Amino acid sequence: MADTASVFTVSVQGLIVEWPRSAARMYGLTADQALGSSVSILGDASRPAGLHQLLAMEKGGDSIRSRGVHRRSDGTLLHVEVHVRPCSRDAEHVTIAVHDLSRRRETEAFRDAALRAQTALQGAADQAQGQLQMLESLTDPSVSVAAGPGAITELIERLRAAVRAEGVALVQVGRMASRVVAAAGLRPGEGVGLGGAASAGTADNRVALIHNDPTRVAQVSAVKWPPTVSSILVVPVCQSGSVAFRLELVNERRAAASEWDLALARIVADRLAYAMLLHRRDSAGAVA
């Protein structure tokens, strides 16, 4: 879209000597008001002496371009580009071409807003695509947890990568002891954590979430994570008699688990539940 433009003539002393209708429309001044007046009546709001300075610079014979903010007769402002050049008819006058940049600025603002909206939409689309890929990875039927420990470890590793956890463990919590069934990334140590005895036999299928508190992590966990672990997310898997299975996702840094992370952990817990019940039944049958 072309910018509105006006061209008028000014003497080297800075007096307006030609004032066309286009200038009247742009500035709201009649010819009677403008002719013979100082060019300063145009009111460069960004630089009060701006046009006079451009006239002084033009005396060297070169064309000068500059941008500024002019003031109309009613006090409203307009962004303009000013082009001062020698008059072709005589050396006592110069011509000033003023381009109203309002439409250009509106177009640029619309374009910038459209680009921001497009970027936001692309970001949302990329996020949705990433989440879909995570879901496909965690629900991949080729990873059958009934196939044994290898498949369980693979699924847990996929969960760890999806939620960006530093460690994930599938833990069996018994009345007297806890055991790590499978782990990925940062691994807990052998033995029962401070929370193991309290958790045994009293699993209530509630999610536990601790942030930036290593002491509370040790109290909540059923195993012994390194003392540097400061965040934990506990998701129940299933319970069979006095034995419960749970997922523990941990980080040494502060990592705020989102609702999406929790949803992914629940999906994996649901997939593991049936396998753990089979594991529990087989173990009981072997003992019998």
Q: Report the pLDDT averaged over residues 186-211.
A: 64
Q: How confident is the model at residue 195 (pLDDT cuts 50, 70, 90)?
A: low
Domain range annotation of the chain: 4-100, 110-138, 141-287
> What is the C-alpha to C-alpha distance for residues 90 and 152, in angstroms, rounded to an integer?
91
What pLDDT, on a 0 to 100 scale, did the predictor assign at position 168? 96
What pLDDT, on a 0 to 100 scale, did the predictor assign at position 165? 93
Question: Which among 222, 218, 226, 154 has a CA at the least distance from the CA of 186?
Answer: 226
Report yes or no: 195 and 218 within 8 Å, Cβ to Cβ: yes
Q: Report the pLDDT averaged over residues 250-271.
A: 87
Query: SS3 for 118?
Result: helix
> What is the C-alpha to C-alpha distance for residues 40 and 64, in angstroms, rounded to an integer?
17
**68 versus 192: which is more confidently predicted?**
68
Report yes or no: 50 and 39 within 8 Å, Cβ to Cβ: no
Report yes or no: 185 and 160 within 8 Å, Cβ to Cβ: yes
What pLDDT, on a 0 to 100 scale, did the predictor assign at position 152? 92
> What is the C-alpha to C-alpha distance for residues 58 and 140, in angstroms, rounded to an integer?
74
Does the fold of domain 141-287 match that of domain 4-100?
yes
Across the chain, how many H-helices and E-strands are there? 8, 10
What pLDDT, on a 0 to 100 scale, did the predictor assign at position 60? 57
Say which residues have a Cβ less than 8 Å from residue 212's Cβ, sequence separation at least 6: 230, 231, 254
What pLDDT, on a 0 to 100 scale, did the predictor assign at position 200? 41
What pLDDT, on a 0 to 100 scale, did the predictor assign at position 135? 93
**285 versus 176: which is more confidently predicted?**
176
> What is the C-alpha to C-alpha distance for residues 175 and 188, in angstroms, rounded to an integer?
19
> What is the C-alpha to C-alpha distance for residues 276 and 152, in angstroms, rounded to an integer?
10
The domain 141-287 having CATH identifier 3.30.450.40: the answer here is yes
Give 17-77 as a 3 state SS string. EECCHHHHHHHCCCHHHHCCCEHHHHCECCCCCHHHHHHHHHCCCCCEEEEEEEECCCCCE
Other residues' Cβ atoms within 10 Å of the Cβ of residue 75 = 9
**pTM of the entire predicted model:** 0.62
Report yes or no: 145 and 151 within 8 Å, Cβ to Cβ: yes
User: CB burial class (10 A; 0-12, 13-18, 19+) of residue 59?
Assistant: exposed
pLDDT in tens, 203-249: 457 899 998 899 999 999 999 999 999 999 999 998 877 789 999 99
The domain at 4-100 falls in which architecture?
2-Layer Sandwich (3.30)
Question: Which among 201, 194, 168, 203 has a CA at the least distance from the CA of 183?
Answer: 168
Packing angle of the helix pair 102-138, 149-163 (nearest 10 deg): 160
pLDDT in tens, 112-151: 999 999 999 999 999 899 999 999 999 999 988 877 889 9
Say which residues have a Cβ less than 8 Å from residue 171's Cβ, sequence separation at least 6: 178, 179, 180, 181, 188, 222, 223, 245, 246, 247, 248
What pLDDT, on a 0 to 100 scale, did the predictor assign at position 191? 56
pLDDT in tens, 44-62: 656 655 566 666 665 556 6
pLDDT in tens, 205-217: 789 999 889 999 9
